[in-house]
Chain A
């Protein structure tokens, strides 16, 4: 084992190191003082994020079990950045929590699973990493121990994902049965498109679709998002979704590349169902977190457009949009979390008159929501535009039409939130929400991201060069 090992696996090793540091801090009773502990953890997360940008190499390890490339390193950086922002924005809430070391240990374990998932080159690795990325998050859903809804969320999450895993495992075993290998590269050669393999593919697809909350595998999403603590919801909605869209893209492009004729159709149907049903359900919701849950479902549909285009442009549009999605969503969840933990309010209607005493937070929400809705000049608009263009380049006009019409529907519920905050009057004034400096930093970073990513073409160019280089 040479230096190569340490450099290639750097992101995972750093995370493992972090987990151990936190564990020792807990054992050595260094975590008694919550404030000091949080400063330590957040500093480490920032360092970890910064370290992600240096010394990245492409290569494989363990005879193809572990793969890394420039685009994967970039994906991991997005996850690191997202994790850091969520941790910063949850600072006020964490200060009041007990058992913070456990929270971070579980969280970072899940992230470790996600990293391995992105880098996996073998279905065995893939499955193990997927479980590692799922189970700690289910436990975290129960972190608001005194709220029954939180326990309900955890229970639903673990039961549903067990079911999805079982189906997926069945699919994997069928793939193994027909090809005799679990290695991605080898399997790619042996995929023939027989009926049994189509069946196996659909099972595997359903497993990933469950994680991505594609319709009709999405039903767990709203309940779990609503019940989980807000930072955990943010992790599920942002980090977990980002991971699985990357993984979906890389497996579709490698293992199932010869299977394109089938998975293209499957994905097209999913896109139409996901965008439409996600949007129409979101229209219906009154609970803010549930609105966001369904909106995130619909956004996944748009991302799939880029995946299905199977072009460099499509792939880079996916990464670009994901980056914007991270910024916008974290900003929204930051505000939602502040409101929820300081006032207990979580309905859209409760936000009436919010603007009066919380001008800054209102604008943050408005900008981030505009970005999700795809209203120019926010970055979200360009993200969506690039995704749609890559879809257009492939010629899926029916799907595109559905997607564009749905953008109009989505305006309704995004603007409803904005309207409640800015325009609707309420009898009682909405109290002033206090925001600590650390949370402000994360919000400012997010909003700057939402605006700057859209304004500068550099970011997109940079992402595209990652894919061009590796091809």
Chain B
């Protein structure tokens, strides 16, 4: 099979699954839709793995350097002679890694959902949405054109919106999907402006051309670095705005507020979208434009690094206090993506300096495995207990042995215990940070210790702590303890992912992915691993002492550091801050201009965008009183205003 056909099929098959199930399957064979979707996904996975294999071992390498190949490309919308929107598929190490991750995790989630979602009313719809999401995500990673990536970016957002709001009769799910949509839309507005800025100066939307024009000295590069706004060059503005889009999708501080709420969606969806694939799109985007960042705009890379490391630590602290197991995992995801971000941020272009780039993608790869495993394991637990709250759990190790072992492996992997996948990738990131920036390095070490602590807090709370007994008061869940651990469709993905959470660490990743395409042989220093590993093990022991048996120590500790604890418990009040800024500050300033604006401010409404709109338009409505004579007056006032401004005032400025 030729590459172009293969890469055409890779996104086309999930799209076909979506259309088939959505248009036909939903009505005529709803029960069978799951199997159909899974089989199509299996085919997609096989094709993408084969293509990636061929790329990495046969066609991709020329003279020891991995090439950027264009599998196919056609012009979709020509805007002017030079600027056109293309649709195509790019083949390079990062896109090949991504299609493997996306299709594989998607396949696991497809299989898992056969058991997890069984008996849901909208089972077929669920599978069609999964197909839509997979299609969009594959289109995103294969993009050859910054505008193509934007289109799929939005499509990914839409399918994420649909899946978060899957339980649309649950008000919290609807609110969460809305929040995710609005926050990411806001970020995407920045992304779009960034695209406009970059494409305006480079005169192209094509990635390859854009990167070439912005990394090699030439008229475009001079123009974009000399043009500026508020003392910052247009290049930095453009890249930062694009990064804003990436930060929105990847839940970087301060645009992370949607991710924890997104856990309202079905758990397998959280595993697929909000752990392994969509949320790393921001990392992928920065990596795609990495040469521009590294060569022409190191300042931008610093911003990426600091935002990444701050988000990472911030999320880790919050994760230590949450009791909803999916929220713990959500914050842990945010923290790990922060890791990937700052790894990119500390990297340079080419050779040894590019270690961070390799490490970032290595971590992306291993993280996809163990985080998907954690979510799927958590899903099995929720399936069994019918609750998200870790206080309802405890002692589950005897009831769910397979889940227990799989979950333990994932926890060891994310904590960075030697021998497991997370250890290798995290070690590489820490080495890269150590070589470049001590502040980031020490923050990262602290975060690694926190990670080990909160993961094992979660683990001991679920599987040890007190003895589990089903809630007998819940009469309609009365048959809980009769059903077993989980059906095989759910256990099989857990086992596969558990094996991969160990095995993927041994891949010599530097041979495949590096900033400049040449193989990177990173040396492993035993000495540098001693500190993070001993901290991680120490943190695990502390978690064990606290949570293995029910005792009062954790509460006491929480009592002594009350300020930090309550702060973290309330996610450092970021949501409240957003409400404060939108409700109080924005309206407050409006209020000083016009006093009557104030009474609407105090009342305030929950949904901030609606509030802004409704209050502002309230005042406008007074203009619209239905009297034609006052319309004429406003008309005349408008004319007079323009006349005053342009006839009398304009020249004076």
Interface check A349, CB cutoff 8 A: no
Q: Contact check: which of B185, B229, B614 meets A284 at CB < 8 Å?
A: B614
Q: Is A408 close to B, CB under 8 A? A: yes
B147-181 contact mask (Cβ, 8 Å, vs A): 1 or 0:
00001001100000000000010000010000000
Residue from B77, B79, B624, B630 in contact with A281 in the complex, judged by beta carbons closer than 8 Å: B624
A401 adjacent to B76 (CB under 8 Å) = no
CB distance B617 to A388 under 8 Å? no
Cβ of A155: which chain B residues have Cβ within 8 Å of it? Answer: 628
**Which stretch, A38-46, A199-207, A339-347, touches the partner chain B?**
A199-207
Contacts of B612 in A (CB 8 A): 409
User: Is A225 interfacial (CB 8 A cutoff)?
Assistant: no
Interface residues of B in 603-625 (CB under 8 A from A): 609-610, 612-614, 616-618, 620-621, 623-624
> Binding site of A, secondary structure by majority: helix, strand, loop or mixed?
helix
CB atoms of B193 and A266 under 8 A apart: no
On chain B, the residues within 8 Å of A223 by CB distance are 626
- Size bracket, chain A contacts: 35 or more
- Decide: B617 and A280 in contact? CB cutoff 8 A: yes
Q: A202-B639, A280-B613 are in contact. Are A400 and B196 (CB under 8 A)?
A: yes
In chain B, positions 587-605 with a C-beta closer than 8 Å to chain A are none
Using A206-B635, A219-B635, A404-B189 as known contacts, say yes or no to A386 and B79 having CB atoms under 8 A apart: yes
CB-contacts of A15-44 with B (<8 A): none
A222 interface hit (Cβ, 8 Å)? yes
Q: B635, A284: Cβ atoms under 8 Å?
A: no
Tell me the minimal C-beta distance from B566 to chain A in angstroms.
34
User: Does residue B634 face the partner (Cβ distance < 8 Å to A)?
Assistant: yes
A6 within 8 A of B: no
Judged by a CB distance under 8 angstroms, whether A61 is at the interface is no
Question: When the two chains form their complex, are residues B193 and A401 in contact, meaning their CB atoms are under 8 A apart?
Answer: yes
Task: Tell me which residues across on chain A come within 8 A of B646, comparing CB atoms.
Answer: 198, 202, 262, 265-266
- Chain B min CB distance to A373 (Å): 11
- Encoded as 1 (CB less than 8 Å from any A CB) or 0, chain B from 636 to 650 comes to 111101110111001
Cα A155 to Cα B626 in complex, Å, equals 12
Q: Which residues of B contact A408 (CB under 8 A)?
A: 182, 185-186, 189, 609
> In the complex, how many angstroms separate the beta carbon of A227 from the nearest chain B beta carbon?
11
Asked whether, in the complex, the Cβ of B186 is within 8 Å of the Cβ of A283, the reply is no
- In the complex, A412 has a CB within 8 A of chain B: yes
Q: Chain B contacts of A265 at CB under 8 A?
A: 646, 650
Binds B, one of A48-56, A157-165, A240-248: A157-165
Closest to A155 in B: B628
- Whether B620 pairs with A280 at a CB distance below 8 angstroms is yes
The B-contacting residues of A in range 112-161, CB under 8 angstroms, are: 155-156, 159-160
Number of A-B contacts (CB under 8 A): 133
Q: Is A210 in the interface zone, CB < 8 Å from B? A: yes
Nearest A residue to B188 via CB reads A408
Residue A167 lies at the interface, judged by CB distance under 8 Å to chain B: yes
Contact of B617 among A205, A262, A284, A313 (CB under 8 A): A284
- Check if A392 sits within 8 Å of B610, measured CB to CB: no
Residue pair A409, B609 in contact (C-beta under 8 Å): yes
- The answer, among B78, B186, B623, B642, for a CB contact under 8 Å with A219, is B623
Given the contacts A198-B646, A202-B643, A219-B634, A461 and B618 also touching, CB distance less than 8 Å: no
Please name all residues of chain B whose beta carbon is closer than 8 Å to the beta carbon of A423 when the two chains form the complex: 168, 174
Q: Is the CB of B620 within 8 A of A217?
A: no
In the bound complex, do residue A199 and residue B617 qualify as a contact, i.e. CB atoms below 8 Å apart? Answer: no
Range of interface residues on B (Cβ < 8 Å): 35 or more
Q: A277 at the A/B interface (Cβ < 8 Å)?
A: yes
Residues in A neighbouring B642, C-beta threshold 8 A: 202, 205-206, 266, 269
Q: Kindly list chain B residues whose C-beta atoms are within 8 Å of the C-beta of A47.
A: none
Contact B610 A412 (CB under 8 A): yes
Query: Is residue B62 within 8 Å, beta carbon to beta carbon, of the partner chain?
Result: no
Residues of A within 8 A of B77 (CB): 382, 457, 460
B80 at interface (Cβ–Cβ under 8 A)? Answer: yes
| Chain A residues closer than 8 Å to B641, beta-carbon distance | 216
B632 touches A405 (CB 8 A): no
8 Å CB interface, A262-276 against B: 262, 265-266, 269
* B580 CB–A CB distance under 8 Å: no
Q: Are B185 and A216 in contact (CB under 8 A)?
A: no
Q: Tell me whether B473 is interfacial, beta carbon within 8 Å.
A: no
A467 within 8 A of B: no
Q: A residues 305-361 with Cβ under 8 Å of B?
A: 313
Q: Does A377 count as interface, using CB distance less than 8 angstroms?
A: yes
The answer to the question of B200 belonging to the interface, with a C-beta cut-off of 8 Å to chain A, is yes
Q: Which residues from chain A contact B182 at a C-beta distance below 8 Å? A: 408
Binary interface profile of B, 65-105, with partner A (CB < 8 Å = 1, else 0)? 00000000001111110001100000000000000000000
A399 at the interface (CB under 8 A from B): no
Q: Nearest chain B CB to A285's CB is how many angstroms away? A: 8
What distance in Å separates the Cβ of B407 from its nearest Cβ neighbour in chain A?
36
Q: Does B631 contact A (CB under 8 A)?
A: yes
Which residue from chain A places its CB closest to the CB of B237 in the assembled complex? A397
Contact of B200 among A195, A284, A393, A404 (CB under 8 A): A393
Flag if B609 contacts A412 (CB, 8 Å).
yes
Q: Which B-chain residue is minimally distant from A423 (CB atoms)?
A: B168
Given the contacts A283-B614, A389-B79, A409-B613, A404 and B193 also touching, CB distance less than 8 Å: yes
Q: Is B192 an interface residue (CB 8 A)?
A: yes
In the bound assembly, the distance between CA atoms of A292 and B416 in angstroms comes to: 57
Question: Within the complex, what minimum Cβ distance (angstroms) separates B202 from chain A?
Answer: 13
Say whether A220 faces chain B, with CB atoms less than 8 Å apart.
Answer: yes
- B contact residues around A217 at 8 Å (CB): 635, 638
Which residues from chain A contact B229 at a C-beta distance below 8 Å?
A: 397
Chain B proximity of A271: nearest CB distance (Å): 14
A220 to B631, CA, bound (A): 7
Complex Cα–Cα for A155 and B151 (A):
46
**Across the two chains, which residue of chain B brings its CB closest to A217?**
B635
CB–CB B621/A167 < 8 A: no
Contact: B632 with A163, CB < 8 Å?
yes
User: B628 contacts A160, CB within 8 Å?
Assistant: yes
Residues of A within 8 A of B645 (CB): 269
Flag if A284 contacts B613 (CB, 8 Å): yes
Name the residue of chain A whose CB is nearest to the CB of B158.
Answer: A375
* In the bound complex, CA of A167 to CA of B618 (Å): 30
Which B residues lie within 8 Å of A220 (CB)?
A: 628, 631
Contact A206:B196 (CB < 8 A) given known A220-B631, A313-B80, A386-B79? no
- A 368-414 contacts with B by CB, 8 A: 375-377, 382, 386, 388-389, 392-393, 397, 400-401, 404-405, 407-409, 411-412
Which 3 A-B residue pairings sit nearest by Cβ, starting from the closest?
A: A216-B638, A284-B617, A283-B613
Additional pairs, 8, CB under 8 Å, beyond known A279-B613, A411-B185: A160-B632, A163-B635, A164-B635, A220-B631, A283-B614, A313-B80, A389-B200, A392-B200
A-B contact pairs, 29 of them (CB 8 A): A160-B635, A163-B635, A167-B636, A199-B647, A202-B646, A203-B639, A206-B642, A210-B635, A216-B634, A217-B638, A219-B634, A220-B628, A220-B631, A265-B646, A279-B613, A280-B616, A283-B610, A284-B613, A313-B80, A376-B155, A382-B77, A389-B200, A400-B196, A408-B185, A409-B609, A409-B613, A411-B185, A457-B78, A460-B78
